[in-house]
A and B are shown apart, each in its own frame.
Chain A
Amino acid sequence: MKRAVLFLIVFGVALVGCDGDLLVDNTDPNATTDPSMSGLLSTAILSTSTTTQGAASVTSYYVQHLASPSGSATDQQFEARFGGTWSSVYDGLGTAQALIEKADEEGSPHYAGIARIIQAYNLGLAADLWGDIPYQEALQADEGEITPGYDSQEQIYGEIQALLSDARDDLDAESRLSPGSEDFVYGGDLEKWKKAAWALEARYLNHRTEKSDYDPQAVLSALDNAFDSNADDAQMDYEDDPSNNPWHNVYLDEQGGILGGHLSEQLVKEMDGTLYGPLDPRLQTAITDSNETEAPEESAAPAFAGNRNGAGSGDFYNHLEPQYYASENAPILWITYAEAKFIEAEAALRADNPSRAYDAYRAGIRAHMTKVGVADAQREDYLNHPAVDVGAGNLTLDLIFKEKNVATFLHPEAWVDHRRHDYDYPDFEPPVDQNPLFDQNPNTDHIRRVLYPLSEVERNASNVPEASLDQFLWWDQS
């Protein structure tokens, strides 16, 4: 056939009957139109990890885990739009949607169940950045809906619970095919996915602490079905180069002169004993290396130092080192047993059950320290320090938030907590040269949400709501 066509071209006698045979096929040979469920599942999982890290690479400045070496716009809270995160959230949601459709065709609800959990996670992450976002009308551009309307954050929270509930049903259903090694989170262990769904349910129910309908008992009963140990953590492990952890790239860039991943002075004060008494061993094991404090030659460097947010680098600083969080094959954490324990501590304390709260608080610290590789002796020293071992009667929300902040290092959830806790951490100051917007608002000195990406402002102008960085999201107001 190919020769015959060539012959026709050469002699140019294709005068009549120009049907499909004479024209070449118009499908891209380098792409498929029929993807596999396993390819979609692994893509959705990687996308979700990328989204988590991408969001945290900005929110970590708002919670002053990190500080910019040059007093950047991010650090000073200007123009935060998270355009990349928006793309990757909807990319993840869309891939998961394609997987749900494919799973329906293939009679394999186990894939659909995981896809719905992934959707719930992405929706929650996005709603906690932007508040109102498109969902009901989203992901339907191929049906002609190119300017989707927005759903309120409260509606999105409803959708999250519905997705998680449907997901658990899917995971219990009969399925022709089930995932295996392409499930980068649990390797096909559906029981763990169900626990993760319960943990996420608890996370989003517990975001409602400022709402009048906040129900700590509902949070606690969700947690009863959630994780039992660190082994249940929802996380994605990276591998050595080239599939390495994105925080490791931040470290490599820093080594190559593209500065980044500098610790905030605030984080260092929170962990090195300045503010709370004990030196938190995780600063050394999980985050940085006291031997590597950057300092001018011949000066005595302190063990740990950070940059003041908004001011640029000072004389001394530490940055992310390839310890637990920024090693080459470190995981990106989605939701962990340790986080669940702190959720439990908070909900139990709010439900007037201080002894359950205290047990959960200590279990959370222990679990996280174990997870990041703190030696047993150091862990127990820390747990027995009077500032930590306060006794059930003296447990406060401040202490729970303080410990949860460390356990959610480099996670966007830390920023949700900072807002829920009204940035009420000791010595927590706005950045130097902060966006003057916050001077003018008597209700907040800190960033409360992010703006919609420019792509959305330009492409979906008729629907995109007004937003300002000092606006309180739905759960952030009573």
Chain B
Amino acid sequence: MIVPSTLRTALMAFALLLLGAGLVHAQDRTVSGTVTDAGNGEPLPGVNVTVPGTGMGTSTDQSGAYSVQVPAEADSLTFSFVGYRSTTRAIGSRTEINVRLQPSVEQLEDVVVTALGVERQERSLGYAVQEVEAGEITEVNEGNLVDALQGQVAGAQITSTGGAPGQSARIVLRGVTSLDPGADNQPLFVVDGVPISNETFSGSRGAGGFAFSNGIADINPEDIESVSVLKGASAAALYGVRAANGAVVIETKGGQSNQTQVDYTSSVGFQRVGVYPPQQREFMDGWRGDFGFFSFPSFHAWGPKADTIEGAEFFQNYDNYFDRGGMGRNVQNTLAVSGGTEASTFRLSLKYGDQKGVIPEAENENFSAKASGTLNVTDDLRVSSSVRYTNTQGTKLPVDAQLGQLQYYPTSVDVTEKFRNDDGTQFSPLPFLNHPIFVAKNHNLTNDRDRFIGNLGLTYTPTDWITVDYRFGNDLYQEDRDEVIPGPLGVREDENAISSQGVLSRETITNRELTSTLRLTTSRSLTDALDAEFSVGNDVFDSDFDRVTVEGADFGTPRFFDLSNTSDISTSEGQAERRVIGVYGDLTLDYGDYLFLTLTGRNDWSSTLPEGNRSFFYPSASLGFVFSDVVDLPPVFDYGKLRLSASEVGKDADPYQTNITFGSFPFKNETLETRSGQLGDPNLKPESTVSYEVGVDLRFFDERLRLDATAYQSNSRDQIIPVPISEAGGFDTFVTNAGEIRNRGLELTVGATPIETEAFTWDARVNWAKNDNEVVSIREGIESITLSGTSFSYGGSLTMQLRRQLEYGNLFGPVYDRFYEDSENESAFRVDESRPRIIDPSTGYYRRSGDGFKVIGNAEPDWTGSLKNTFSYQGVSLSALLDVKAGGDLYNQVAAFHASQGTLPITTNRDEQVEFSGVYPDGTPVDTTVVPGQDYYRDVYRRVAENFVEDASYLKLRNVQLTYQLPSVLTETTPLRGGSIGVGANNILLWSAYDGFDPESRQFDAGSNTQGFQGLRTPAVESYTVKLNLNF
């Protein structure tokens, strides 16, 4: 049960009180009705309905309906909406007025939200911005906004890390720009003008054995009004260092004047693992053909054929992966109340959600409350504020415990049959094997996260050409994580305990981010045709992170999990504080409303850089040219615009990377001082990304065909990288400016409305993007930089490495030994498949190469694309989103395990005569026919990473959604003003050559730049959701 602290309750109550003041006015009469598009008959939400001369009014809701209180003396209503001709209707004695608005050709352009929350006409921009609307986000039923953006934005590469409740998802725009394994390559997330943290705070114990959520997942998708993705550095230049990877600007829903509205949304979803890796069922557990799993190492499936063993009828091979998986369930409810007076608006929303995983012991529960409001204090002063409180509680399982332990579980035993002995101790068919179900029920981590995000804003317009904007925001985050590993119960001699002593780890993470932004804007018409807008501003960002871990081991009473019950307690702390101060200016010139030039400049001072290098300036320039306004074009060509931009963005380092430090720890009553393996660079410089972008926006056939294309190139120089250096130098890594990476790419969005009638509409949208990158240079003396990876049997390893002149994302690993007459011809990095494999004369089969690990794949996709079709027929709409990823390799760790355990299908030829074709070490061609046995698979096959780095291209039906708008019969006869019922399914069809679980699961958290490893986490799932939406 979630019980917010008293303090927070008080704060909430206070905020609500403030915002709720003066809501209701006595009014004389009510007029209501519906506003539709005169062209297609669709309801128009957001149309302003005003009572001329009174300053009163409202706007239409999602179903185009409005209801407005009208003073007795008023005689007409005005309806206005961007992109439509305004119209005024006399009221007379009517209480219902329905209006059809005519589109206005002159004002077709959308308004988009750009950096710092500035709304601009899309036509004026010199860079690409892609908008995603609220409906597109909520209809896919993904609780994590990042997941919800899958397939919706050209050039956004989104990677879901897996299907457990509360797992993180990663988004990268236009490729990575920082090569540091730990650097943040994800865009800045800005909510209502204030950046908030999207950090994934990984676990600190061991290898970070639990999967945590990314920060933005705390935002309720139902609260989102719009999402604007600023993909390039130009678009985001004004946000400074933190937006070097672009920005995702989110505006949340607010209230509407004079219209109190209640919205309720409820959804119920079910998930299951859709795809399982293939396994052979022919051979049983055993070793060298003998059946049995009772002693190490004979629990592998290297036994006899199932039908040849004695008592064959008593044994079978179980599908323990499938049997262990279950049905996940996800229930989400949001209740929102909004409204306002002519001078103020408010919106309150409450959300409760509960998700249980496909591994039933994992759960994630969250509660959030948000209040926001605006108040026009005077004609020239407007204030706004919002507070959001989120509490998330979850039970997490060790990320790879389930799949990891299932690998070793004998296939001839049903894993679900028994996991506990009658005395409560762990049951396992093997004395040293952990039972996955026992582990799930006993070894877990519970987390409890409170997050408090607030902002206040003030807009002062002393004259009509000067605006002063101020915003202050905070993002306070506190999370408690308790991990329990029980020790032995001590009730039997041969107890198989998970841990010999038991461990309790309590960790508290607090993170505080404060942002202050001040901006002064002036605009003037310089001549008849030339308008100018100039702004200057300052912002300050301050973050303070603290992680305290207390760990106790060796429980006194076996099942009493409290630190007081442990005998061996250790503590550690990690703090990081960072501050960035920025000053910027921004000048936009508008010539004839078709030629727009924007120049920006920003200087940052960052606390994380050495004193001499901490101040850095970077400029940008962009040009938007609506050529269709000045060039004669064929009549079908409605609109054409060219965009050009060039920009530079600086980026600072993580804190504390400029010196040599020593940590201390106690041992034998002395304090040991250990030098950190990281050598800081006292001369660290800021990174800098220079990018160029050119794009066009073309629209044809009354805008029923829309095409937007962008090409870009960015070079990120002076990369700050903790370079792994020879340990003989005295350090493990050297943090220095060590390289340059270049990204080049194309993004394409095509929108089409092939059919558009009164009753039926067909909309289609294609997103396509391609990004190529290259590590242009690496600091002299450094051959390669290993980001991260995984060990690969027998001391080998598979790692993602950077080498100059090679692409980012290359996976290096052990390969087959191949023959070269002259070793000079052998590339140090590339595998030459045309070379014959060497056959080991002593075995008759292939062998693995030695030290020279080579590129055996690349984790980056060749291109990504999506196709979304939406069909609407009266109140019914059907949409389908297909998502494609072409290329991009993935290490199939499960398959490597299966090869070792003898469950991989290819191993069924173990007892057959198999031909190997190649050459002897001296180059003599030879074809051998040998029985590979388990030795070939265990000694060679599974040790060659080539066999398991697979093409993870896929085509998947990301989402299909059927929505039914409640009929007007219902809305007219009940208090209900609108609503819908929808059913949807995600991830239900997958076409992929990848031979494992769904290729969308990842070994590393969203914050990691190491991609291409699937690992053993809970795989991605398919889901089915029913959703009800009611508006009162």
Contacts and interface: CB of A to CB of B under 8 A. Distances in A.
A181 B670 contact: yes
A462 B783 contact: yes
B581 A23 contact: yes
A260 to B, nearest CB: 11
A35 interface: yes
A25 interface: yes
Nearest to A182: B670
Interface in B511-532: 514, 516-518
B726 A23 contact: no
B78 to A, nearest CB: 39
A18 B728 contact: no
Interface stretch (A37-45, A207-215, A375-383, A424-432): A37-45
A100 B843 CA distance: 54
Contact of B605 (A18, A36, A90): A18
B719 to A, nearest CB: 16
A86 interface: yes
Contacts of A30: 573-575, 663
A133 B728 contact: yes
B729 A15 contact: no
B781 interface: yes
Contacts of B164: none
B665 to A, nearest CB: 9
B512 to A, nearest CB: 12
Interface string A447-474: 0000101111111111100000000000
Interface stretch (A141-149, A282-290, A298-306, A343-351): A141-149
Nearest to B797: A454
B724 interface: yes
B606 to A, nearest CB: 7
Given A9-B540, A139-B728, A257-B431, A31 B575 contact: no
A146 B583 CA distance: 38
B672 A258 contact: no
B783 A436 contact: no
B794 interface: yes
Contacts of A78: 794-795
Interface string B958-988: 0000000000000000000000000000000
A10 B500 contact: no
A459 B581 contact: no
A280 B605 CA distance: 72
Nearest to A94: B730
A255 B501 CA distance: 11
B390 to A, nearest CB: 24
A459 B611 contact: no
B565 to A, nearest CB: 16
A419 to B, nearest CB: 21
A147 B538 contact: no
B52 interface: no
Interface in A1-29: 8-15, 18, 20, 22-29
Contacts of A148: 726, 728-729
B104 interface: no
A436 B568 contact: no
B662 A32 contact: yes
Contacts of A24: 542, 577-579, 607
A9 B673 contact: no
Nearest to B298: A312
B679 interface: yes
Contact of B614 (A23, A90, A253, A456): A23
A92 to B, nearest CB: 11
B538 A14 contact: yes
Given A26-B607, A79-B794, A460-B728, A32 B667 contact: no
B432 interface: yes
Q: Interface size for chain B: under 10, 10 to 19, 20 to 34, or 35 or more residues? A: 35 or more
Given A95-B674, A181-B670, A456-B726, A39 B662 contact: yes
Contact of A312 (B296, B577, B784): B296
Nearest to A238: B668
A70 B673 CA distance: 38
Nearest to B728: A134
Nearest to A45: B672
Contacts of A139: 728-730
Interface in B664-692: 664, 667-677, 679
A242 interface: yes
A367 interface: no
B789 to A, nearest CB: 11
B724 A458 contact: yes
Tell me the interface secondary structure of chain A in the complex.
Answer: loop
Contacts of A134: 726, 728
A197 interface: no
Contacts of A460: 725-726, 728
B499 interface: yes
B443 to A, nearest CB: 14
Contacts of B500: 252-253, 255-256
Interface stretch (B126-134, B220-228, B651-659): B651-659
Nearest to B852: A457
B615 A18 contact: yes
Interface in B205-241: none
Contacts of B583: 15
B725 A459 contact: yes
Given A23-B607, A90-B728, A436-B842, A39 B671 contact: yes
Contacts of A312: 296-297
B470 interface: yes
A30 to B, nearest CB: 5
B496 interface: yes
Given A95-B675, A257-B432, A141 B664 contact: no
B658 to A, nearest CB: 6
A134 B574 CA distance: 34
A327 interface: no
Most B Cβ at <10 Å: residue of A18, A42, A253: A18
A394 interface: no
A132 B623 CA distance: 61
Interface string B610-628: 1100110000000000000
A199 interface: no
B810 to A, nearest CB: 13
B385 to A, nearest CB: 15
B379 interface: no
B734 interface: yes
A57 interface: no
A46 interface: yes
Contact of B540 (A12, A27, A253, A255): A12
Given A9-B514, A12-B470, A313-B296, A33 B540 contact: no
Interface in B722-736: 723-732, 734
Contacts of A133: 728
A242 B656 CA distance: 30
A87 B470 contact: no
Given A70-B297, A73-B794, A140 B730 contact: yes
B673 A32 contact: yes
A392 interface: no
Contacts of B728: 86, 90, 133-134, 138-139, 148, 456, 460
B730 A181 contact: no
Interface in B402-439: 431-433
Contacts of A79: 794-796
B729 A46 contact: no
Given A22-B605, A25-B607, A39-B672, A241 B724 contact: no
Given A146-B734, A257-B433, 7 more contacts: A23-B581, A30-B573, A33-B661, A86-B728, A87-B727, A255-B500, A459-B783
27 contacts: A9-B516, A18-B605, A25-B607, A27-B656, A35-B662, A35-B673, A39-B662, A42-B670, A43-B672, A46-B672, A79-B795, A90-B727, A90-B728, A97-B730, A98-B675, A138-B728, A140-B729, A147-B726, A148-B726, A243-B667, A243-B668, A455-B727, A456-B726, A456-B727, A459-B725, A459-B782, A459-B783
List of 3 A-B pairs having minimum Cβ-Cβ separation, nearest first: A257-B432, A39-B673, A141-B729
